Amino acid sequence: MHRKSQTVDLVRRKPRQARAQDTVEVIFEATAQILRRKGRAALNTNYIAECAGISVGTLYQYFPDKESILVAIARREIAADEAAVIKAMSDTETGEADLVRLAIRALIARFRRSRDVRRIAMETLISEGYGNELASSVQKVAQMVGARSDRFLPGRAEPVSPISLFVITRAISGVMRAASQEQSPLLDSQEFEDELVHLVRAYFSSS
């Protein structure tokens, strides 16, 4: 599989105006509805346009094919995941001191949303050769953890090494992706959150 080295914009027409943005949202929602109801096998651009209430010509103004729509959905999910985790790690208003738990809880909440749609979109992102975009997002979170390790890991005297950050952030993201791909019911359990928190704490307490 050819792996793309950088993000490639697959959107043909940038939705700059509100009406265009609404059209893209309608396309996304129609795609999600088809995936939830009938699965990926039923997905094609004509059916998406029909469910969206637009012409297929209008759809093609924005996306060249169904794969580009799924990649765009995946990219939106990745950006939202990153924003949710960073917000959780930056939150000083909840009174919750355990930023590890807050970050993991935020990530789990994201993975619980639109599970089938998310799983198929992410699989398409990877199969189309854009898997490096997942790594890029995880790297941003790792950098924030490193920059705020005094808050993220209170009581730790020494700074967190880049290698440690790489290992633990990829471990967490790998577990989350496995739970999503396997459609695991564990995502709904408190124990799943507790075990991930324990994983982080145990790793850094022994490093």
- Helix (H), strand (E), coil (C) string for the chain: CCCCCCCCCCCCCCCCCHHHHHHHHHHHHHHHHHHHHHCHHHCCHHHHHHHHCCCHHHHHHHCCCHHHHHHHHHHHHHHHHHHHHHHHHHCCCCCCCCHHHHHHHHHHHHHHCCHHHHHHHHHHHHHCCCCHHHHHHHHHHHHHHHHCHHHHCCCCCCCCCHHHHHHHHHHHHHHHHHHHHCCCHHHHCHHHHHHHHHHHHHHHHHC
Percent of the chain whose pLDDT exceeds 90: 69
Task: Among 40-49, 156-165, 169-178, 189-198, name the one with the lowest average pLDDT.
Answer: 156-165
pLDDT for 81 equals 94
pLDDT for 207 equals 62
Superfamily of domain 6-64: Homeodomain-like (1.10.10.60)
pLDDT in tens, 76-95: 999 999 999 989 888 755 54
pLDDT for 41 equals 96
Q: Where are the domains of the chain?
A: 6-64, 71-206
Whole-model pTM: value is 0.84
